[in-house]
Structure 1
Amino acid sequence: MIGTDDRLTPTLPPAFERSDVAAPGSLAPLAQLADTGLEVPVLGGGRVRHVNLDVAASAPALAVVAEHVERVLPYYASVHRGTGYPSQQTTALVDQARAVVARHVGARDDDLVVFTRNTTDALNLLANAVPGDTVVLDIEHHANLLPWRDGARRVVVGRSSFAATLDAIDAELGRCPAALLTVTGASNVTGEVLPIGDLAGLAHSHGARLAVDGAQLLPHRRVDIAALGVDYLAFSGHKAYAPYGAGALVGRADWLDAAPPHLAGGGAVESVGIDDVSWKTGADRHEAGTPNVIGIVALARALAELERLGDDARTAHEHALTRRLHAGLAAQAGVRVIRGFDDLDDGLGIATVELDRGSIGLLAAALGAEHGISVRAGRFCAHPLFDRLATRSNGLRASLGAGTSVDDIDRFLAALAALIADGPAYAYDRAPAGWCPRVDDRPPLAFDLD
């Protein structure tokens, strides 16, 4: 059983009715990832195939992305103004990547694509450009909650239904003019997908613009900002199978051209004097310094590969695996899946659970150390939402992606059931950083950085 003073009732769930959830043959990985077939050590000296169910935090690179980066690296050079062949090719790659990103998200002809470090960086850039109040929901990841922490931020607390929440947003926008409504495209805690088109229409009816934190949604679903009426979209490469340190903010140019440069430095200026500076407009205004060429190219290549895989195929693959995951969790004793809204049926491959009793942290640690299964425990950088929905101090999240297979789901469900019933096979201690094996015989990685 998980826990010491607070143990779970040792009740094994019934056998999973797999046949009416999804056919195993149809649930092979949709794409090959750079970590496909990775074996990791487990306690006791063995090795097992790694099961990565922490994709919502950071996704491994697609194999084609890693291969593309390897091909590009020999030609890496400075962008713009370089006269050598590698520099010219690098400049062309960055320009092409900008066009690929714009195409993938359905950008309007006059939208800007500004490359950033990640979603957090992109939303902080946008926060410095908004000429007025911002309305935000309490369901947001901290990346879309903390940048607005000033007198111009107004928070709407979610209701039990999204219909009621939409009414509350409508009332808040009507109470006092706002320049921007900013929302997540999909919750990183519950996986619930918000009706972006409805939110865009509501914001525009009050004279506000809509920004979408697309970090979770974009790797799973195509987001067409022009068709949906989205004014700004922020997202990260590390969640979209391109973990090389680049993200993007895509959206309307006027606010961004009028905003202070995100960074002050070379490349963002037309001219510089001792006492004055003339800043550029467009994406260059906010991309000072040498860009993360490899990250930018990797992000564009990942989005192009997601297009090749096809929206229908990705959605069908994920829906089948998600149904299997939720059916298996429903069969587990003492486990509750967290939901945000009772009227949103569309969701990504994310399931966050809490236990009736016992330690989530210990459960997560044992899944990794004894079974080679990576999940996430905590409040998922969405503290206001988690604290409102959950009854315990933290939860456990399993998240799926293009590389997830039916075997991944089944191994997780079987390991979860065994740990809830019988507890870990090894002793663990609770340290400030979390639970860890009292004796960890797993060898460290042999990478040498010296």
Structure 2
Amino acid sequence: MLSAPVATVRPTPAVVSAAIADRAPFIPALAPVVGADAQVPVAAGHRVGYANLDYAASAPALASVAAQVAGALGEYASVHRGAGHLSQVTTRRYEAARETVRGFVRGRVDDSVVFTRNTTDAINLAVHITPGDVVVLDIEHHANLLPWCAPKDGRNRARVVTARATIEDTLVAIEAELASEPASLLAVTAASNVTGEVLPISRLASIAHRHGARILVDAAQLVAHRPISIVSHGIDYLAFSGHKAYAPFGAGVLIGRSDWFDAADPYLAGGGATADVDLRGDENSAGTTWHTGAARHEAGSPNVLGAVSIAEACAALAELGPEAIGLHELELGERLDAGLARIDGVRPLQIFTDSTDRVGIAGFTIDGFAPRAVAEYLSSEHGIGVRDGKFCAHPLLKRLGHPEGAVRASFGAGTTSDDVDRLLNALGALSAGTTTARPELDEGYPA
């Protein structure tokens, strides 16, 4: 179970934000996570409990997931083609992981489920198998932007649509682009990693299909927060990472219609992807015969524990239930938003004026303070972890008027209201000028 949060040194009552002075009821963690009792050093010379508000970068492993993966280590061996008992056990566990993931995202029975290194790798695989042009928004994480913009077959296939001030106008712009010239694919994020705003995936899928295109959804920031259904939402391809969904080890997944997977050359050439290899090179030889299905694009020894951890995380999230997850995030989000609104100089980031849904992410700036300075202050003085920079979404930050970056607080199943309150207290002290900790921007820090 989670240990009781360890309080950091509090600002004096005069600088505590009004949101905290009018303290709301305590909101407990939704589920135990690994590292919930971590202690970190602060400038005052002692250690405090770590307030992890950087879930959007990498969520801590759920304790139940870590326990299952630790158990799997006792029966760990090489997958596929091994006759030994542990190889058979591991192979069954690896292949069962595909079915667990498919069930969690409500995939079609004939969809290919390919394990990758992460979402970036999954989208690069999607680039590899996709024929024709791709329409993409300018608000995307670089993982769902740069791979499409790289030349393929001697030309740039990406057609970048500038997001409008509203979701409705953005949908109109996307439809106009798809109608102007045929495209094979619309590639969109499900939830912004900068602001947490959720896009209407079902409507986007309908627009794409109406114009003869398929849709790929980058669900890295959605699967741990909202239910998603490949079938019900009309999704053709779905990509996400385990490390943003409470799964340890580096692994991701690309799920989707098998015809493009089978028509493309293998993503990597090597063992496991081949059905037969013949080097004679004469007219009686067919040369290399590649597998179809997921194996075609999973050459080499796979990250078995990564795949198992994703599956266990999916099962754990399903057990928690979307209603409980949604309510927990709603309560924490309302508390955070209300507190930020009462702190002078805090300016929240928002892409669309008509967005109505947001996962547990809040991007913001503070007047007079560089983002890096804010993040360093929160860490060194209060033991709070947030993200700063441009969040691998440089075009979006520039469009929002913050080319130097911003601060991002993000939360999830292991977050309590104490974590949110500590952040608000610390920001309140910084804004009010009652702290002497005002670190300078580290110019060498990568955005």
TM-score normalised by L of structure 2 = 0.91
Q: 1:243 and 1:339 mapped to 2: Cα distance?
A: 30
Q: 1:284 and 1:434 mapped to 2: Cα distance?
A: 40
Alignment correspondent of 1:187:
192
Q: 1:223 and 1:430 mapped to 2: Cα distance?
A: 39
Contact 2:216 2:238 in 1 (8 A): yes
Give the root-mean-square deviation of aligned CA atoms.
1.7
Q: Where does 1:103-252 land on structure 2 (aligned, <5 Å)?
A: 103-149=103-149, 150=151, 151-252=156-257
User: 2:349 matched to 1:338?
Assistant: yes
State the SS of the aligned residue for 2:425: helix
State the SS of the aligned residue for 1:154: strand
Q: 1:185 and 1:146 mapped to 2: Cα distance?
A: 17
Q: 2:209 and 2:31 mapped to 1: Cα distance?
A: 38
* Cα distance change on mapping 1:18 and 1:247 into 2, 3 Å: farther
Q: 2:278 and 2:363 mapped to 1: Cα distance?
A: 55
* Cα distance change on mapping 1:418 and 1:18 into 2, 3 Å: closer
**What does the per-residue CA deviation read over 1:17-46, in whole Å, with 9 as the maximum and x for residues that have no partner?**
776xx9424x20001001111111112321
Q: 1:207 and 1:197 mapped to 2: Cα distance?
A: 15
Contact 2:20 2:425 in 1 (8 A): no
Contact 1:338 1:351 in 2 (8 A): yes
Q: 1:227 and 1:165 mapped to 2: Cα distance?
A: 22
Kindly state the Cα deviation for residue 421 of structure 1 after the two structures are TM-superposed. 2.2
Contact 1:114 1:248 in 2 (8 A): yes
Contact 2:30 2:414 in 1 (8 A): yes
User: 2:302 matched to 1:291?
Assistant: yes
Alignment correspondent of 2:19:
16
Contact 2:133 2:183 in 1 (8 A): yes
Q: Where does 1:371-382 land on structure 2 (aligned, <5 Å)?
A: 371-382=382-393
Kindly state the Cα deviation for residue 345 of structure 1 after the two structures are TM-superposed. 0.6
**What does the per-residue CA deviation read over 1:337-389, in whole Å, with 9 as the maximum and x for residues that have no partner?**
01000111111111100122222211110101111100011110011111101
Alignment correspondent of 2:284:
none
User: 2:290 matched to 1:279?
Assistant: yes
User: 2:436 matched to 1:433?
Assistant: no
Unaligned runs of 5+ in 1: 1-10, 436-450
Alignment correspondent of 1:7:
none
Aligned match for 1:300, one of 307, 311, 319: 311
Kindly state the Cα deviation for residue 392 of structure 1 after the two structures are TM-superposed. 5.5
Q: Please tell me the residue identity of whatever aligns with 2:236.
A: D
Contact 1:12 1:333 in 2 (8 A): no
State the SS of the aligned residue for 2:363: strand
**What does the per-residue CA deviation read over 1:124-148, in whole Å, with 9 as the maximum and x for residues that have no partner?**
0000111110000001000000110
* Cα distance change on mapping 1:312 and 1:318 into 2, 3 Å: same
State the SS of the aligned residue for 1:173: helix
State the SS of the aligned residue for 1:40: strand
State the SS of the aligned residue for 2:415: coil
Contact 1:366 1:424 in 2 (8 A): no
Alignment correspondent of 2:367:
356
Q: 1:429 and 1:381 mapped to 2: Cα distance?
A: 22
In terms of mean alpha carbon deviation, does 85-94 or 422-431 score higher? 422-431
Kindly state the Cα deviation for residue 14 of structure 1 after the two structures are TM-superposed. 5.2
Contact 2:394 2:403 in 1 (8 A): no
Contact 1:12 1:332 in 2 (8 A): no
Q: Please tell me the residue identity of whatever aligns with 1:329.
A: L
TM-score normalised by L of structure 1 = 0.91
**What does the per-residue CA deviation read over 1:96-118, in whole Å, with 9 as the maximum and x for residues that have no partner?**
11110000000001101000000
Contact 1:58 1:238 in 2 (8 A): yes
Q: 2:438 and 2:179 mapped to 1: Cα distance?
A: 57
Contact 1:269 1:277 in 2 (8 A): yes
Q: 2:402 and 2:247 mapped to 1: Cα distance?
A: 35
State the SS of the aligned residue for 1:128: helix
Contact 2:390 2:403 in 1 (8 A): no
Contact 1:189 1:380 in 2 (8 A): yes
Aligned match for 1:410, one of 400, 421, 426: 421
Alignment correspondent of 1:36:
36
Kindly state the Cα deviation for residue 424 of structure 1 after the two structures are TM-superposed. 5.2
Contact 1:354 1:392 in 2 (8 A): no
Alignment correspondent of 1:65:
65
Runs of 4+ in 1 over 6 A off after TM superposition: none
User: 2:324 matched to 1:313?
Assistant: yes
**What does the per-residue CA deviation read over 1:136-177, in whole Å, with 9 as the maximum and x for residues that have no partner?**
000100000011013110000011001001000010000000
Kindly state the Cα deviation for residue 420 of structure 1 after the two structures are TM-superposed. 2.3
